[in-house]
Structure 1
Amino acid sequence: MKIIILGGGVVGVTSAWYLAQAGHTVTVIDRQPAAGLETSFANAGQVSPGYSSPWAGPGVPLKAVRWLLMAYRPFVFRPMADPHQWRWLTQMLANCTTAAYDRNKGRMVRLAEYSRDVMTELRASTGITYDDRQQGTLQVFRKQKQLDHIGEDLRVLDQYKVPYELLDAAGCVRAEPGLAAAQGKLVGGLRLPGDETGDAHMFTQRLAAMAAERGVTFLYDTTIRGLKREGGRITGIDTSRGRMEADSYVLALGSFSPAMVRSLGLDLPIYPVKGYSITAPIIDAARAPVSTVMDETYKIGITRLGDRIRVGGTAELAGFSTTLRAPRRATLEHSLTDLFAGGGDVPAATFWTGLRPMTPDGTPIIGPTGIDNLYLNTGHGTLGWTMACGSGRVLADILSGRKPDIAHEDLALGRYKA
């Protein structure tokens, strides 16, 4: 089957890889000059199945108000005259119940755990490297209240048999020695030894190169102008290179997915949630993280990537703005220097922002659309890197007429029509 994938980020590239492995002829189209140059470029670096949780949950509306009042705020809301923003917020608030949280987290952990296993297989079969480490992740709590309220998450981890360790402050330091000077600021932590880290941009570019060697065509610097529909099928794509046709099409454009298919009568509940990161050279390895440390108070991940420290976080609802805002950098720098003082060269750090494609329930949308030959692999939010390999494999199985290894029906767009 001839398949065109719209989007060359980590999700589009993993989709291409697994579709090609299944014997399909694959073309990837992207407006950028290379793979992985948008949301996949400088994310927090975590492959964290155990921390896969929806943002919508019990108590989140009240927490959001408190976050907005913090000096180093993890959440920023810029109201806009945009009906899509307000509709998405309404849908997300509807998911802030215990039942919805448990259902959504279960979906996310299922896919993320599977994706980590698929990534392990990919590493073993190809030898791909990407500043990867398999040394677990550690969520640290500064307040006892935070530690006291992790029962719901632990129940889901138990349900899916995800190994974890509850640690006191001293245990956190044993897991991450660079936290020694900050031990007095911590009350404990949750360590997930099965989680991993790595550079998503490096991974995406290297996998794209391997896919190209195996016959995948990558058309970069190509603007996608629209999809053409006749009856119940897509008949082609209009691009800056002209019209292109295939047997099937995969939409993996992240935050830009809804606009691409709105004229086709498809309503994708995806909205951009802006995130930021800084990347600092390591100047003292003993004071740097070993793997990833999640700062629960500021909702920030601090990750070791080779000789660099990547610090990522913040949720900013600001439409499609990619303006770099100094207060957001200050929050990232504060978390890093407060926990790992002296580990990284903060003044030399690069500053970046990207648009995470979030669904109201936190789960990506993978599978058919109701249009016979159009499929989705989009809406991964902050977890595109964590879920990319599993999502690509599930999608390839669906298009190839094979039964995926995990339950997938509740990942499709149809769950929003129920």
Structure 2
Amino acid sequence: MSAVRPRAGLTLRPNWGCLAGLAIAELRHGRRRARARTLPSIAIVVFLTCFVAAADAYAQLRAQLHASGLTSPVGFVQDPTDRSVQFVVEQPGRIRVIQNGAVLPTSFLDLQSAVAFGGERGLLGLAFAPDYATSGRFFVNFTNTAGDTVVARFVRSGNPLVADPSSRFDLRWGGAGGPAFITQPFANHNGGNLAFGPDGFLYIGLGDGGSGNDPENRSQTPSEWLGKMLRIDVNVPDANPSGYQVPSTNPFLSGGPAGTRPEIWSFGLRNPWRYSFDDPAHGGTGALIIADVGQNHWEEVDYEPPNRGGRNYGWRYREGAHDNVTSIPPAFGPLGRRYGRVRVSRPCARARVPWPILLRGSFRARVVDRVHDRSGGGGARVESHRAHRRIGRQPARHHHLVRRRRRWRVVHRELRNGEDFQGARSRFDGRF
């Protein structure tokens, strides 16, 4: 993989101590026409930031073999209590442990008997509670054997490298008597990511239910959880019958379209396979950045300033900023281009750059690396792009997202993201 070169004329200084994070190979995901691949032996690589520019520049990234022997990994999560430990989510249903660079033989959690694996189904997400050090709680997102989405709570055992499988509690949706799953009508567009925001709440990205062009318009149906971003408070006692409560600040708790589920944070998503927060703990703004997989022509990256829920990102009425299926009006507006727009610099405004940012191909992952940006420009966005097999690193200023796409660098396969103990971002790749 060729390095991302800084601009000419800038002085570089060595920075051998920077670790840009672990990266893992994984399956191709998301688009209906994409064929899922099972990789029997996959390696983890570490990206090292070898030099840092003295001004606004891009760090050079290099890869080295770190670990191997994983099966279809789709996620990498740092143990928040131990710098030497990371967890790898394997799509068939296991969470593996890496300690000091070695994959341990004993899984942290094995859910293979409870998981439907194949295509876009499987064990898809993992998030540790903000109080994991004391509560031992963590949450997983997986497809059950009936093909539906389950978000389950577990706690670790007395051994911090092994979870307690008997502690499983499946969240019950819509109240204590609600189902312990979210029905998925088709096999694709499961979403699957889990992330705790800076506000301490759990964000759950759900796809539109699958097939193509959201045939039942679920992403715009207020009573459907599908095609939405959910936000819930899971900091509840074990005895809570639902396993969560709705935050009082959720935007549709007491308003919005009639019949809107109070758990909904935003509408109009197709398949938000991965999303990330610009972590304030590392100098970020707290913004939410969502990579929403497109249908055929346009990809969408949604930038949401902190605490700005209640948006409608437009799917299926629009694909990105472009009209798509317009036979049924959206639940509410404005949509996409206007509703998701943020302030940009004057040069970008003159160029009429749309927001959300739209890319051809398939945009898979989006994170913000605050650790290894030394430009003073407020962090760098690290991105992966499947259709053209590229990764890139761009400043976190909004208008650079389009203007600097030329700085992508080619890698071998589609990538995913992870984050190490310091908040540094990583890439997953299956060939070297």
TM-score range relative to shorter protein: under 0.3
| TM-score, normalised relative to structure 1 | 0.26
The structure where strand makes up a greater share of residues is 2
- Greater RCO, 1 or 2 (C-alpha within 8 Å, sep 6+): 1
Q: Higher helix proportion, which one? A: 1
